[in-house]
Structure 1
């Protein structure tokens, strides 16, 4: 192992999920952590399992940003230390 290795001491590699607007309401929180390495389907399944179908419906229509960039490739796994922003559709003009 090298200095700065996030796996030293058995530390779990994680990702921060931040919820906005209706996603925040459906999740009942503003942030939480999930394991790194999930693809989008895995992330949605994990979060829906934690918070229920109400959040699942929001996630089905939401946009996801990974470290500020739109997550286009649904199969790309989330890297350790990333921040995922969950943005539900917004109404307005």
Structure 2
């Protein structure tokens, strides 16, 4: 990926409806984004359909729920985007 150093990125992985809306399984973004900036960047890249999913999705950072929305993503982190699941 041009312009993004692998040592200063985060990996965003999409699951279920988020994967369908993004059109990709995963991608890399620059580190240092807070949750609002991450959502804005992903919505800008992939459009309103993903933006709607992100508005109701849960986010895990390195396997832990991302509760502090002002915290920035450190280099090397993995962010899992989990839309609400239905079923039983």
TM-score by length of 1: 0.87
- Pairs within 5 Å for 1:5-84: 11=5, 13-84=8-79
Give distance in 1, aligned partners of 2:30 and 2:36: 13
Larger gyration radius, structure 1 or structure 2: 1
Structure 1 unaligned spans of 5+: 1-9
What is the DSSP-based 3-state SS (H/G/I as helix, E as strand, rest coil) of the residue aligned with 1:15?
A: strand
Shift of the alpha carbon at 1:90? 0.2
Alpha-carbon RMSD across the aligned residues, in angstroms, is 1.3
TM-score by length of 2: 0.92
Q: Structure 1 residue runs of 4+, over 3 Å off?
A: none
Q: How many residues align?
A: 84
